[in-house]
Structure 1
Amino acid sequence: MKASVKKGLGTTIWLLSMIIILGGALAFALNPSPAKSIFGYRMYEVLSGSMTPALRTGELALVQITPPQDIAVGDIVTYAVSPDGTTVVTHRVVDKTTDSEGQTVFSTKGDAADTVDTNVPAAAVIGVVRGHIPIIGYIIGFVRANFIASLMLIIAAILVVLAVKNLSAGKKKKPANPS
């Protein structure tokens, strides 16, 4: 196979891979369904400082879907506060009890808050925070609010990378000037 065909094929595969990865990430980030998950994890943008210093505003919280019986005092949990599950809160479990009907309930509190939240029924708990990524929450928030501008920035970035790649490949092919 000729070098130019290999180069073109490599560039095409790279470009298609980037489009698929970025497209999948955007589709996931923009999907309004509260039930979306990847390999048992959901991702949520941290919108307030209520969990500082454990979680900071603008971070992306990685929440593992967890059954209530596996949640312990001290775990940071994400739970739904709206009936449709689109509004969630992430706070630390400070108590785990059983109500008068025999159902598990959690008392939660933000690390930066002075008061304990109202009891959270086990059915409302989505899962336990297993990690967080700085800044990514801000990026996802920007993409949600400015989808067209974000898409244009991504396309421009891909074109710049391709242009730089082609320029550097062109410099390598130039024969040395005999002196």
Structure 2
Amino acid sequence: MKEQELCQEKNRTNTRKSSKLSGFGRIMGNILFGLMLIVIALLVFSLVSMKMSGGPPKVAGHQMYIVLSGSMNPAFDTGSLVFVKPTSADMIKEGDIITYRGLGDGERLISHRAVAINNTEDGIHITTKGDANDATDPNPVTSDNLVGKVVLAIPYLGYLVNFTQTKQGLITLILIPAAILLIFESINLYNNVKALNKEKAVQKESQSNAQCK
């Protein structure tokens, strides 16, 4: 009788361990899936924002730009997505990474580090330099061509944003979440059925007074 009780307790312990592992896997899967949904939602929001405003996409007042060169490596490299907070020149400090419009080409945006700040009669002049460059930039940045301060850079996300602006990218943006959701739900269903069958087997074994091997 005592041996039978030990067997039943062992089976219950194994079932609880298996249930905990399965539950942990589901939690981690849900977290990863949630993070992916956040990224996708951010991309969709940025695309809609860009189409409506005609300018760069914005999130919580921060403009988003795709890095097109490696001049700021290793701080961030080509293909990164940078978030730029509109900031006045008097709020910029040495060491900040700023985004500004290059002189002579109003459409060309540059993100470099502020290495010196000078107060002149004409206003604040900010000397900039790319971390990967040997020399400082030839022209100082003023309040007229300053866009803002880079507060965040996410590697490679710029490539994804570029891709989602194509027809194939938009289709993929819809299909991938649907496929991932289907996979996760299938895995959860399989685990639930497996756990239920195992629990029934343990109960049946207990009722039939099975002996431990």
Same fold by TM-score greater than 0.5:
yes
Aligned counterpart, 1:33: 55
Q: Is 1:104 aligned with 2:138?
A: no
Paired residue total: 159
Deviation of 1:32 (Å) = 4.4
* RMSD, matched Cα: 3.2
Q: What secondary structure does 2:144 align onto?
A: helix
The structure having more radius of gyration, on CA atoms, is: 2
* CA shift in 2, pair 1:84/1:77, >3 Å: same
Is the Cα contact below 8 Å between 2:117 and 2:127 reproduced in 1? yes
Superposition pairs of residues 141-156 of structure 1, within 5 angstroms = 141-144=162-165, 147-156=166-175
Amino acid at match of 2:85: Q
Deviation of 1:155 (Å) = 2.1
Aligned counterpart, 1:23: 44
Amino acid at match of 1:92: R
**From 128, 134, 149, the counterpart of 2:155:** 134
Deviation of 1:48 (Å) = 0.5
**From 59, 82, 87, the counterpart of 2:108:** 87
TM-score normalized with structure 2 length:
0.61
Deviation of 1:170 (Å) = 5.6
Aligned counterpart, 2:72: 51
User: Hey, which bits of structure 1, 4+ residues long, moved more than 3 A?
Assistant: 28-32, 82-86, 165-179
Aligned counterpart, 2:16: none
Aligned-residue sequence identity (percent) comes to 31
Deviation of 1:163 (Å) = 3.1
Amino acid at match of 1:42: Q
Aligned counterpart, 2:134: 114
Amino acid at match of 1:70: M
Amino acid at match of 2:142: P
Deviation of 1:166 (Å) = 5.2
* CA shift in 2, pair 1:169/1:90, >3 Å: closer
TM-score normalized with structure 1 length:
0.71
Please list every run of 5 or more consecutive structure 1 residues that lacks an aligned counterpart in the other structure: 1-13
CA distance in 2, matches of 1:48, 1:115: 16
Aligned counterpart, 2:22: none
Is the Cα contact below 8 Å between 1:50 and 1:111 reproduced in 2? yes
Please list every run of 5 or more consecutive structure 2 residues that lacks an aligned counterpart in the other structure: 1-33, 205-213
Deviation of 1:99 (Å) = 3.9
